[in-house]
Amino acid sequence: MQTACTKEELRALLAPVRGKRIVLVPTMGALHEGHATLMRQARILAGDEGRVVASVFLNPVQFDNAGDLAAYPQTPEEDLATCRSCGVDVVFMPTPDVMYCADRSITLEETHLSTVLCGACRPGHFAGVCLVVNKLFNLVQPTDAIFGKKDYQQLAILRRMVRDLDIPITLHGAEIVRGEDGLALSSRNVRLTPAHRAAAPTIYRALKAAAEAYAAGASADAVCRNVRSELEAIDGVRPDYVELVDAENLHAVTDEKRMALLAVAAFFGEVRLIDNIELTRNV
């Protein structure tokens, strides 16, 4: 495994493998089994002849809360060990001054999918995501990239970016990786208090119950109301949003034959967790 900390080092490492399949796994570090799963899937996609590139970069531009950025865990040595164990060929670990010019003045903004869910709660977040991912695409020039479905809205927006900007990359969405108790794996989980960590699996239990209710004919309002009530019953938990939307365009469901998405964001104390589940009606 090779590492690069500058754009020049990255280009030099990838120059000999241009023309081969290159699979990118973008991360912000503090890697866990969810990230490891993405890297192992990337290894399979790349095959013996291709290359897997993982980026480890805590992107300040996508944080709307300075406190959240400061509290985000960073474990570079452990991250490198995880990348090595998962068969990553190149790890790109830049610093903010490498990724961004001090007088940068170009932004990227999606104006439809990003107006709801996390986009409505975190102004500027997805503009920062689109900017950094587009830069990584330009630097790595991958044939493929893998993103987890836990960040479902992010994946939808990046698919729109690839489509609208004609970026020659195939995006792959990987299923959510969960702990034995159902909690979606997240780098933020380590910041939960013991009581909130014990209560956090309530999110997934409520989502699964909602999926069964929706399949049986429950209304979107009833489904969301029940999930919100489950979360509000936990001491110190504040739902940010509980919304049922069309899984593709992330807006109100207008055709119940299409797949829907039930998405949740909730503060457990000061830690914001997100989760989601795809829903279908029984025919």
Residue 50: how many CB atoms within 10 A of its CB? 19
Contact between 79 and 57 (Cβ < 8 Å): no
**Catalytic pick among 32, 35, 125, 196:** 35
Q: Which contacts (CB < 8 Å, 24+ apart) does range 75-84 have?
A: 75/29, 75/30, 75/31, 76/29, 78/31, 79/27, 79/29, 79/30, 79/31, 80/1, 80/3, 82/31, 82/35, 82/36, 82/39, 83/1, 83/31, 83/39, 83/54, 83/56, 84/1
Residues 6+ apart with CB under 8 A from 97: none
From CA 238, how far away is CA 234, in angstroms rounded? Answer: 9
Give the torsion through C-alpha atoms of 159, 163, 164, 169, to 10 deg: 90
Angle at 127 (CA atoms; ends 124, 132), nearest 5 degrees? 125
N residues, the chain: 283
Residue 35: active-site member: yes
Catalytically active residues are: 35
